[in-house]
Amino acid sequence: MHDGVMTSNLDTKNSSRGDKARAKKYLVEFLPAMLAYVVVLLLVVVFGDLTSNKPSRIIWALLPIVPLVAVVWAVVRHLHRIDQFQSQLMYQSLSIGFVGAVAAAVTIGFLEIAKVNVPLAGWMIFAAGMLSWVLGNAILLQRKS
C-alpha cells in the first residue's frame, strides 16, 4: 500500500522545470509580438482606408507584415527550444495545416474558375490552414502523448 502511494506520487503529470522555462520564454517572445500584430491590424482597419485610391493604402495593407515577422521569429525560436518528440509532433501538425490550406486554396481556385465569387478568399485559406493545424495538433497529442 505504502509502495503504491509512493509510486502514484511519482506518476504525477506536473510539468518539469525545463517545460515551464521553455513555455515562459515562448510566451515572453510570442505574446508581445501577437499583441503588436493585433494592434497593427486594428490600426489598419480604423485608419488604413484600404478601399481608397491613395497610394498609402498599399503601405497600410503591408504594415501587418512587420509584427508578423516577430511572431514567426518567436515560433521559430520555440521550435529550436523544444525536444525531438515535440518537434516531430509540431512538424506533423504543421504538415496537416499545410495540406488543409492547400486544399482550401485549390477548392477556392476551382470555384473562381467556375465564376463563383468567394469573399475574403485569402482569409478563408488562412482559416482553413490554421484550423487544420490546430485540429491536427490536438489529434496527434491525443494519440501520441
Positions touching other proteins (CB under 8 A) are 7, 9-19, 22, 82-86, 88, 143-145
> Nearer to other proteins by C-beta: 14 or 53?
14
* Closest separation in Å from C-beta 95 to other proteins: 18
> Nearer to other proteins by C-beta: 23 or 45?
23
* Closest separation in Å from C-beta 20 to other proteins: 9
* Closest separation in Å from C-beta 91 to other proteins: 14
C-alpha pair distances (Å), 76 with each of 30, 73, 80, 142? 10, 5, 6, 24
* Nearest CA among 116, 94, 97 for reference residue 107: 116
Q: CA-CA distance, 130 to 76, in Å (whole number)?
A: 17
> Nearer to other proteins by C-beta: 14 or 51?
14
Q: CA-CA distance, 93 to 137, in Å (whole number)?
A: 5
> Nearer to other proteins by C-beta: 13 or 115?
13
Other Cβ atoms closer than 10 A to 42: 11
* 99, 55 Cβ separation under 8 angstroms: no
* Closest separation in Å from C-beta 3 to other proteins: 9
Please count the residues of the chain.
145
